[in-house]
Structure 1
């Protein structure tokens, strides 16, 4: 199926590794011009090297609002338009809530909530001027159902879910679709502590009805579809991709 992504312009944050890198590469293979943004310049360069000339990189620290403010203008300067935004970057500080430093909350909310909001605002205004566009926010199953010892992360990702629904309703008349993907357990560097420990890995997959963790390649077709013009009547949806974990009692 042709997703009609050739020569569209898509910004992907958190694209230096894991799900972000996988989505950036998949979009490039579909013919999109991808701007891959993250803090790690070296890792971004490695992703771009595999992008067939369709991925350019952009260093950005999403904790810093001044850095965030320059992201969409940089995309527009390079390409003159923006057709898709994937707000993928996120941080997941773990720990006991009773003893957590408020600074941890500040960082989690800055990266996971404020940055996606600022990027969606800047990109969406341009999309409206162009006649339409698509925004995909990457949340988590912990944003759908709370998880102990990840209270800041669960809280921030829950906010992303509500943000998606509210913005989708507001911008549907403007032909800007806003959707959310809530991934469960995927084999990425962020899950290294789990995948490299037989005991932790066994405990983790015991919670998943599918009986395994997922490969990033199992998420990217959905991401590509949601930034494609073919998804023009899909908005405000939360797509949980977790092997059935959040659907069981």
Structure 2
């Protein structure tokens, strides 16, 4: 028996690929939660469906959807509601951006990429999921970043999008509290397949990065980040709302 048996989560960017989304999908599936996973790569979503259903006995609905397109988001949310009859949790993880460019190197198109795949996608999913979350007294977990919290070099559009998401989440916590919906943000530092590749190619740079993390490691997408998202969606966290959880192994200290 899992704590989320019979419940339903939408996880954006939840396909298989060694990232945060896959860790989130796995953590929620282990709690018996049925999933609707969205993304741009249908094959990654189908691969995730096959593995999650076989291992954990949950039902997984893969949905290829562009989060920056409100009509596609509305159609996806409607399909989830028709398929499962409810929506309990919304986990907004997906984001695209032109990382590594300085602010003056950014074009409007670069900024649009981050803003539309970030702020607009989160806005559209929250807006269209709200009626269902109100029925279930559900939860929202949005993802932001230390790039915005700490002003990291070469991350201006990404940071702007993520800080916009944080602001919107806090407003939603205020407006949706009377509906029984809690809304929170996670800012993670996570080991991904891309980071693992970087570690192999640049071991000295990786060692330097690790040296700045008191915990001595990057977070695990499932056991660290996924489990925290599970907690924030559980009854144990129903009184936590409007908060930013900085998961950076001690390197993301803030007042």
Does the 8 Å contact 1:4/1:230 carry over to 2? no
Deviates more, 1:45-54 or 1:187-196: 187-196
CA deviations on 1:11-31 (whole Å, 9 max, x unpaired) are: 000112311111111111111
Which consecutive residues of structure 1, in runs of 5 or more, have no partner in the other structure?
none
Judging changes above 3 Å, is the alpha-carbon distance between structure 1 residues 191 and 67 closer, same or farther for their aligned structure 2 residues? farther
Residues in 2 aligned to 1:122 and 1:221: alpha-carbon distance in whole angstroms:
26
Residues in 1 aligned to 2:49 and 2:230: alpha-carbon distance in whole angstroms:
18
Deviates more, 1:191-200 or 1:219-228: 191-200
| TM-score normalised by the chain length of structure 1 | 0.92
Residue among 72, 79, 100 paired with 1:67:
72
Alpha-carbon shift at residue 191 of structure 1 (Å): 2.5
Whether 1:159 aligns to 2:164 is yes
Q: Equivalent residues in 2 for 1:76-115 (5 A)? A: 76-94=81-99, 95-115=101-121
Does the 8 Å contact 1:143/1:159 carry over to 2? no
Alpha-carbon shift at residue 229 of structure 1 (Å): 3.0
Alpha-carbon shift at residue 57 of structure 1 (Å): 0.9
Does the 8 Å contact 2:8/2:33 carry over to 1? yes
Tell me which residue corresponds to 2:226: 220
Residue among 20, 45, 58 paired with 2:63:
58
Whether 1:231 aligns to 2:230 is no
Whether 1:206 aligns to 2:211 is yes
Which consecutive residues of structure 2, in runs of 5 or more, have no partner in the other structure?
none
CA deviations on 1:13-59 (whole Å, 9 max, x unpaired) are: 01123111111111111111111111111111221122134222111
How well do the aligned residues superpose, as a CA RMSD in angstroms?
1.8
- Displaced runs of 4+ in structure 1, greater than 6 A? none
Secondary structure at the residue paired with 2:52?
coil
How many correspondences in the alignment?
Answer: 246
Alpha-carbon shift at residue 153 of structure 1 (Å): 0.6
Alpha-carbon shift at residue 200 of structure 1 (Å): 2.5
Residues in 2 aligned to 1:38 and 1:93: alpha-carbon distance in whole angstroms:
18
Tell me which residue corresponds to 1:137: 142
Tell me which residue corresponds to 1:189: 193
Judging changes above 3 Å, is the alpha-carbon distance between structure 1 residues 44 and 7 closer, same or farther for their aligned structure 2 residues? same
Judging changes above 3 Å, is the alpha-carbon distance between structure 1 residues 68 and 131 closer, same or farther for their aligned structure 2 residues? closer
Alpha-carbon shift at residue 237 of structure 1 (Å): 1.1
